[in-house]
Each structure stands twice: as C-alpha cells, then as structure tokens.
Amino acid sequence: MTILAVALNPSVDVSSDAARVLPTRKVRTHNQRRHAGGGGVNVARVIAMLGGRPELLMMCGGETGALLLDALAGASIDVVTVKTAEPTRLAFMVYEEETGLEYRFVPDGPAVTSEEIEAAMDVVRAFKGEFLVLSGSLPREAPDYTYARMAAVAASAGVKVVLDTSGKPLLTTLKQAKVFLVKPSLSELETIAGKKLDERGIAETARHIVDEGWSDYVTVTLGRSGALLVGRDISLRLPAIHVPVRSAVGAGDSFLAGLVWKLMEGAPIEEAFRFGLAAGAAAAVTPGTELCHREDVFAIYEGRLGEPEKEPEALES
C-alpha cells in the first residue's frame, strides 16, 4: 500500500437539517445522513474517491464501531481495525436553514488501553508504503506522544509522515519526531506560537517550524483567507476559492487528502497544494458530512467551478 491513514479516534457522523434550533424545545430535523468520520477516516474516504486505494488503520468498538465499519463497506479502502473495549463515539451536526449556521456536537470518544495502542503501533511498524497520515484527535487515555512514536517508527523506515492534529499531541509530535508535512489551521498555528498571529506572524511561525527541522513543509489553512505553503525553498500563499458554501465539515480533511493524493500521483508540492485547495473548496459545496465529490474537485482545480477570492477577508481560525 502507498498510504496508511490513521484514525485512532474515529466517529459515526450523523447530520440533519432543521428550520431553526431552539433551546429546551423539541427540534424536529429532516434529511438525516450518516457517514464514517474522523480525520484519518475522512482522508481515506477522499483518497479512495479520487481513485486511490488507501489503507486505513482504525480503532473502533461496540455497536457504534459496527455502524462505522458498515458505513465504510463498499469503499475502495483496505481497513485494518484495532478493537476497543469502549464504543466508538457518535457525533451530530445540525444545519439551521433559517440562518445557514451549523451546530456541531463532537464527544471526546472512548478511553483506550495501552494494549490497544500497542496493537495500533504494530500496524504502523509493519507499514512499508510511501505516506503515513496521522490525522485527528487522540482518544482518551492515549498519551500525548502517541503520534510522535508512530511518526518516529515510520520515518525510520523511510515513510513520509503527514500530521494533522491539535493541542499537545501536535506540539509533542513536532518536537519529538521529524515529519514531512504538517497542516495546522490558524488556531493550531497560534497554539504552536503561543500567541495570536497576524499575517506576518503566520508566515514567520510557519518558517520557524521548517527552520527548526520539525517538518519539511507547513500548510496553514486559513478558511476564507485561503492557505499558505512554506518549505525550505518555497513560500506560496493562495487565496480561497469562492464557491457556494453548504457546510464546512471535512474541508480541512479534504484539503489534506487531495494534497497527499496528488503527491502520490507524482506531482510537485506546489501543484499538490493547489489541488488540495480545490478539494477543500469542493467539500464546502456538499451538505453535512458528505465530503467532496470527485467531479467537483476537478472542476474547481481546472477552473470550471468557483473562482479565487479577489480580496482575502480577515483571517479565521
């Protein structure tokens, strides 16, 4: 396998629509949808949709774990599971039709044991492909250095490690294990910097990560303000692509998956970055947790759908 996506804290994502969300009252919803979710799962789903055949390492358990596996049935994904004693989390999103706002409810997920973590480590040790994507939050009781251990094992075997997480696991992994590419949002980059960042601060912090040798490349996703790519010999800022937004769910995961898939196809990093931006925009076109559609990704990438924002708006986390 060329890519192994890791989802240690996946979810069953349920989304629906409501005319209006009100406190204490019974809110009637409609158009219910259910998808397999979580960072690594979403990355694998998008790469499979684009035509790849990823391997997915997923920790799951209980009745919701069975639902998760059922939601992935039929996808061109080779799923390797580590069974957990506690059940997989279930996340819920409601789109409010009157305002266009989304309400997202994301539980912290199951507690895992050291034995379950070691079983996942064994899968990473055995992987000999090109890319390891560590994406999403860690489950409860997993040490902050879990991703750092996986990254170190993979890098020592010549695997390119791609990191997309937040908080202490993000900082710990960057400081303890060299990665090929890290994809923080603005808020996650500010966590690394320890302060609020303006335009100059964003570029300087991304450059610092590269100069310190923590990551070969940094891609910072900035919502409606586009994205930034920084490497040893490159600094590229692209504006957001204007599309009719239905949902922001999965846009970052789609961006990362599109970028990695394009790299797998042999594209240079600049081209892969542009393709990732198109995939992220395509995810915004779809409702709920549906992620992007292949035809939308290529239409946006080829300029047949959407257009760059002429003036980037204020930076968003």
**Catalytically active residues, by annotation:** 253
Bridge-based pairing of strands 234-238 and 227-231 is antiparallel
HSE (side-chain half, CA atoms, 13 Å) at 258: 31
CB of 260 closer than 8 Å to CB of 47:
yes
Q: What is the spatial distance between Cα 101 and Cα 87, in angstroms, rounded to a whole number?
A: 29
DSSP label of 88: P
Round to whole Å and give the CA distance between 220 and 106: 23
Amino acid identity, position 164: D
DSSP 51-113: T---EEEEEE-HHHHHHHHHHHTTSS-EEEEEE-SSPPEEEEEEEETTTTEEEEE-----B--
Give helix 269-285 / helix 294-301 axis angle, nearest 10°: 130
- Residue 239 one-letter amino acid: P
Which of these, 231, 252, 272, 229, lies nearest to 316 by C-alpha position?
252
Q: Which of 203, 214, 292, 198 is CA-nearest to residue 251?
A: 292
Closest by CA position to 155, among listed 177, 182, 126: 177
Question: Encoding tokens for residue 254?
Answer: 């789609």
